[in-house]
Amino acid sequence: MSLCLITGIAAAQEVGTVEAVHGGEGEVFVMRGSSSHILGKGDEIQLHDRLVIKGSGRVTVKAYGCSRTLPAGAMLTVDASFCTATPVSLSGAAVTTTTPALAVPILGGITAGKVVAAGTILSTPSIISTAASDENKGEPVSP
């Protein structure tokens, strides 16, 4: 009975499939929990998977009723916002997708992406000052 329960839970988490993978070996993979797996056509995509595309890789994934192609240098966490979420850039450059993600305004034209970016920028000085004020007084601190 417990085997059926475990199988049911795993099946319930599947939310999509990989439609196409382009690039060299290991350039397109999924981070699932504490492990990572190279992706291939037909592989299942589960809720909370992090899709990572490196080098010259590219992947097309169908999930939540839409199909998205993610380019090299992008990472995207799979959840209910998959069809509209903006991928994270692994290099700091802007990420463009063949199925453009829509920016969802949350406050007077401010989008969720701007809030996350501002929070990251604003929190960095406090992280550095906290690290600098700890036990290593006068010694250089790596952020």
pLDDT along the chain (143 residues), means of 10: 48 86 93 95 97 95 97 96 94 64 50 46 44 50 49
Query: What is the model's pLDDT at position 13?
Result: 86
Separation of CA 124 from chain center: 21
Residue in the block written with tokens 């199988």? 7
Query: What is the model's pLDDT at position 108?
Result: 52
Query: What is the model's pLDDT at position 119?
Result: 46
Query: Which sequence spans correspond to the domains of the chain?
Result: 14-102, 103-143
Query: What is the model's pLDDT at position 116?
Result: 45
Cβ(54)–Cβ(6) under 8 Å? no
Query: What is the model's pLDDT at position 73?
Result: 94
Cβ(39)–Cβ(58) under 8 Å? no
